[in-house]
Structure 1
Amino acid sequence: MKFKDQFQFVRQNMGKNKVRVFMTMLATAIGCAFLIVLASVGFGLHDSLIQNTMQDRAVTEIQVHGKEVDGSYQSLTDGDIDYFESISGVKAVTRNKRLQQSPVFSIDDYQIQTEAMTTDFPSELEAGLELSEGRLPEKDNEIVIGYDFVSNLKKNTVSDEELTNEQGEIKEEYQYDGDLIGKEIEMKVIQIEDNEEKSHTIPLTVTGITEAPTREWFQDQSVYISESVLKEVEQFTGTDRGMVTTPGQEDLSTGQQQEDFYDQVTIYAENMEVVQAISDELENKNYASYSVVSEIEQINMIFTIIKTGLIIVGTIAVLIASIGIYNTMTMAVTERAPDIGIMKAIGAKPKTIKRIFILESGMIGLAGAIIGTAVAYIVSMAVNFALPLILESISKEELPPELRFSMIPWSLVLIAASICLLVTVLSGLRPAKRATQIDVLKAMRREV
């Protein structure tokens, strides 16, 4: 008996009991849809978190915090920078020295208190730094300011209560509305001496403004000063990085380091593929580093466990549907006993008979998987459309645009279809085996 004839025979017999077969397919489809929709929540949240992580941080960025030597961490120096730049796959190494106080920057009646730092602009350019306006500094008294510096300049003659709105933002009428490029601003730093606050003012000229941060929630209002300005601040305060000493606090200038160090060092890889190799090399050299790849690996591990658990739970629904398949196939064997007897009488092998019934259970499972997948996609789209609206109406806050509560990749469809087919075929094995054991004479007399 050819496979084509076996398939035709199965179709004819399934057509004789359309309602029963349809209900069995429906139960299988519901189980398959439940499995896919349940697991799709894990896939959707996983994808959203990965996208959010990769959007918030540069994927080729590796932050190096220090080096472990004899059980303690040491700050990074020029020697470490040279080593980082020699590593294969490294595109650029940026480094900063931060003032240990937040100076007050003022122009006319406007001022802002924010952080100041030095940076190596050639390495920043290699890493992808761009300016929204102006140019890079060429003299010691020239600076670059962050994109949000101007919007946070506020009138110093207005009280804080009147200055801000209900959201804590500076009212538009009190914001600086001029162009700072080429303008001179004053940086004021302080130090405590004999219980008195003393200040020192340094005039600086703005030559450039950085581009807007890629992260919408992040604000860049930093000021990038030169090494000579940093040294002038240190000379005034008498401390490393311009730290302000309070009465009773040790003067850190008495124990200044023999070698200059950096407060923040960031390595930029040529591409994402080499980030892990660079991180591994840093780890072997006892450097404390962090990259988004490390975070993604942890996220992947956690969500792999979650998705596996959801698939297992969803499989229970398919197993429940398998009871209906077993019942349908058992009834089919009983009803088709005469047909089985005839096939045996004309020489059909038990293997052929068994294959016919397994084929039928497999077709039911395949049809259920197709219908279930279609239903799952419809439910998934409905969830992604309706659930954010419901949550936004309840919380009164807008959800992130990249947030997806449900996602159905092809891998999930293949997993669900495979589970569905496997369960349905296994459900039809015992009835198929029983069909091969039917006695020909009893079957012809309809005694089965």
Structure 2
Amino acid sequence: MRLKDQFRFVRQNMKKNRTRLFMTILATAMSVAFLIVLASVGFGLHKSIVKETLERRVVTEIEVPGKEDSQNGYKQLDEKDVAFFETIKDVKSVTRRKNLQDYQFEIGEHQTNARAVVADMPSETKAGLELSEGHLPKSANEVLVGYHFVEALRPEVETEDIYNENGQIKEEYQYKGELIGKKIIMNVIKFEKGEEIKEKLEVTIAGIRKKPTKEWVYDNVVFVSDGVLKQVEEFTGTPRGMMKDPNNPDMELPAIAADHFDEVKIYAKDMEAVKDITVKLEENNYPSHSVINELKDVNVMFTIVKAGLIFIGTIAIIIASIGIYNTMTMAVTERAPDIGIMKAIGANPKTIKRIFLLESSYIGLIGASIGTLVAYVISMIVNFGLPIIIKQAFGEEPPEGLIFSHIPYTLPIISFIICYLVTILSGLRPAQRATKVDVLQALRREV
């Protein structure tokens, strides 16, 4: 019998008991839809977390906390380390910062507290630093302030009345003047014999950093020069202007060399270069952390979750396969005369077996196709309706851009493969039974 005739014979037989066939296909479709929808939750949450991770971190940024030393443990990075980083292939920029204390800055009758940082401006510019106003510092007494610096300025006489219900400074109390070119006072404090001594350093605002692209980022940092750092250290007599405990003036502070940095970040030319740079750093005993490390951990965790969800969904398909087994067993019983005739005219047992396997495959593939379409519809309904339900029922606003259900093209393919294998196994036993039907008994309509 030709393959074309086998397919036609299968289609004709499937039409003989449409109700039973419909229920079997329906059960298969429901199980496939369940598998896809269940697994799509894992894929959706995975995609959401990866998206949030990429948005919160610069994808080409690599943090290097120090260097591993077999004798002294971690060692702070210095100019030699930075010079080595800059020689690595595909490195775009290496930023290095020295962190000072939080200081009080005064401008006119307004003031605010902000962290002071010494940074290398050329490398910061290469890494993507942009200004909304002004220019980069050109002299030792010029500083660069964060975008939210002006919003944080408050009147010197601070009362609860100056803040609104959101904890922000009311508009009438906000600083209204220009910042560029304005001289501000940086108050540096030290303690001597239990008394607070204050030094007022005058600096000029040269520029304001560009507004952060992320709404949750609050930029109130003040970039100062090495010259300002030197003045601070000369006044306080401590590295980085660290303050001693007034109750313990003899306490020893950690020694920090002038060329040591508190924060070093490497920026690759593109995301593909991050992995190679990270490998190069590890080879030279430089531990690092980048968005690639975060994504690696996230991917491993969600791979396990998705595999578990697919396994649970597979159980539903296995349960549905019981219906396929029952349907095929009934088909063999009902078609015993047809099988007898086929064997009487010389049909090969392999051909008979193939016909019943084709029929079970038909059931599985039709059910998988219908189930996949239903799963896509359910996925769209869930993504649209679930945020509304959460908001109305619980009064909570879901995170913006959260994806509850995502169906990649690989998921339906996996579902089709699982469904096809299960249906073949379900039809295998009835198909083998069909090849063993006795011709004489079949022609007498007895099995």
| TM-score category of the 2 structures, normalised to the smaller one | over 0.9
Larger mean CA deviation between 221-230 and 123-132 belongs to 123-132
Deviates more, 1:126-135 or 1:88-97: 126-135
Q: Which residue of 1 aligns with 2:25?
A: 25
Q: 1:109 to 1:393 in 2, by over 3 A?
A: farther
Q: Which position in structure 1 is the counterpart of 2:84?
A: 83
Contact kept, 8 Å, 2:245 with 2:251, in 1: the verdict is no
2: CA distance, partners of 1:257 / 1:416: 60
Deviation, 1:394, is: 4.4
CA deviation after TM superposition for structure 1 residue 187, in Å: 1.1
1:122 aligns with 122
CA shift digits 1:133-175 (9 cap, x unpaired): 221111111111111111111122231x222222222222222
1:89 and 1:250 map into 2 onto residues whose CA distance is 48
After superposing the two structures, state which structure 1 stretch, 265-274 or 316-325, moved more. Answer: 265-274
Deviation at 1:433, TM superposition (A): 0.7
Whole-Å separation in 2 of the counterparts to 1:258 and 1:242: 13
Which residue in 2 is equivalent to 1:94? 95
2:97 counterpart SS class: strand
In terms of mean alpha carbon deviation, does 1-10 or 18-27 score higher? 1-10
Deviations 1:303-357 (A, max 9, x none): 1011101110111100000000000001111111111111112221111111111
Alignment of 1:158 onto 2:187 = no
Within 2, Cα distance between the matches of 1:188 and 1:334?
Answer: 95
Q: Which runs of 5+ in 2 are unaligned?
A: none
Using the alignment, how far apart are the partners of 1:23 and 1:126 within structure 2?
65
8 Å CA contact 1:240–1:252 kept in 2: the answer is no
The Cα of 1:395 is off from its aligned counterpart by: 4.6
Q: Is 1:72 aligned to 2:73, yes or no?
A: yes
Q: Which amino acid aligns with 2:217?
A: F
Q: Aligned in 2, Cα 1:156/1:393: closer, same or farther, shift over 3 Å?
A: farther
CA distance in 2, matches of 1:169, 1:8: 76
SS class of match (2:65): strand
What is the CA distance between 1:280 and its match in structure 2? 2.0
Larger CA deviation: 126-135 vs 291-300: 126-135
Aligned residue in 2 for 1:435: 434
1:63 is matched with which residue? 63
Extract unaligned runs of 5+ from structure 1. Answer: none
Instruction: Tell me whether 225-234 or 391-400 shows the greater mean CA deviation.
Output: 391-400
Distance 1:43 1:251 in 2: 54
Letter in 2 for 1:364: I
CA positional deviation for 1:358: 0.5
Q: How many residue pairs end up in the alignment? A: 445
Partner of 1:371: 370
CA distance in 1, matches of 2:42, 2:228: 52
1:212-361 alignment runs, 5 A limit: 212-247=211-246, 248-250=248-250, 256-257=255-256, 260-361=259-360
Whether the 8 Å contact between 1:145 and 1:208 is mirrored in structure 2 is yes
Q: Provide Cα deviations, 1:369-415, integer angstroms capped at 9, x if missing partner.
A: 01111111111111111221222334534322221111110111111
- 1:53 equivalent in alignment to 2:53: yes
Distance in 2 (CA, whole Å) between partners of 1:156 and 1:22 is 79
> Residue type of the partner of 2:262?
D
Q: CA deviation at 1:288?
A: 2.8
Query: In the alignment, which residue of structure 2 is the partner of 1:140?
Result: 140
Q: Is the 8 A contact 2:361 2:423 kept in 1?
A: yes
Task: Give the C-alpha shift of residue 246 in structure 1.
Answer: 2.0
Rounded Cα–Cα distance in structure 1 between residues aligned with 2:258 and 2:133: 35
- Cα deviation code 1:271-305 (max 9, x no counterpart): 11121221122222222321110111011001101
Q: Please report how far the alpha carbon of residue 250 of structure 1 lies from its aligned counterpart in structure 2 after TM superposition.
A: 3.8
Q: Please give the alpha-carbon distance, in whole angstroms, between the structure 2 residues aligned to 1:375 and 1:93.
A: 51
Quote the residue 1:408 is aligned against. 407
Q: Is the 8 A contact 1:103 1:114 kept in 2?
A: yes
Cα distance, 1:252 vs. partner?
A: 5.1
8 Å Cα contact 2:324/2:427 also seen in 1: yes
Query: 1:184, 1:259 → 2: CA distance?
Result: 27
Q: Give the CA deviation at 1:259.
A: 5.1
Residues of 1 paired with 2:286 and 2:394: CA distance?
43
1:180 is aligned to 2:198: no
TM-score, normalised on structure 1?
0.96
Q: Residue type of the partner of 1:407?
A: H
Per mean C-alpha deviation after superposition, the further-off stretch among 222-231 and 176-185 is 176-185
1:105 to 1:249, Cα distance in 2 relative to 1, 3 A = same
How much does 1:256 deviate?
A: 4.3
Q: What is the letter of the counterpart of residue 423 of structure 1?
A: V
For residue 109 of structure 1, what is the aligned residue in structure 2? Answer: 109
Asked whether the 8 Å contact 1:239–1:251 carries over to 2, the reply is no
> Does the CA contact (< 8 Å) of 2:148 and 2:218 recur in 1?
yes
Identify the residue that residue 10 of structure 1 maps to in structure 2.
Answer: 10
Residue number in structure 1 paired with 2:43:
43
Secondary structure of the 1:333 match is helix
**8 A Cα contact 1:239 1:252, kept in partner:** no
Distance 2:72 2:4 in 1: 74
The code of the aligned residue for 1:93 comes to V
Aligned equivalent of 1:200 = 199
Q: Whole-Å Cα distance in 2 between the matches of residues 413 and 85 of structure 1?
A: 46
Q: What is the one-letter code of the residue matched to 1:371?
A: I
Aligned-partner SS, 1:386: helix
Distance 1:394 1:142 in 2: 54
Q: Please give the alpha-carbon distance, in whole angstroms, between the structure 1 residues aligned to 2:395 and 2:95.
A: 41
Letter in 1 for 2:320: A
Structure 1 pair 71–231 and aligned structure 2 pair: CA distance change class (3 A): closer
Bigger mean CA offset, 33-42 vs 272-281: 272-281
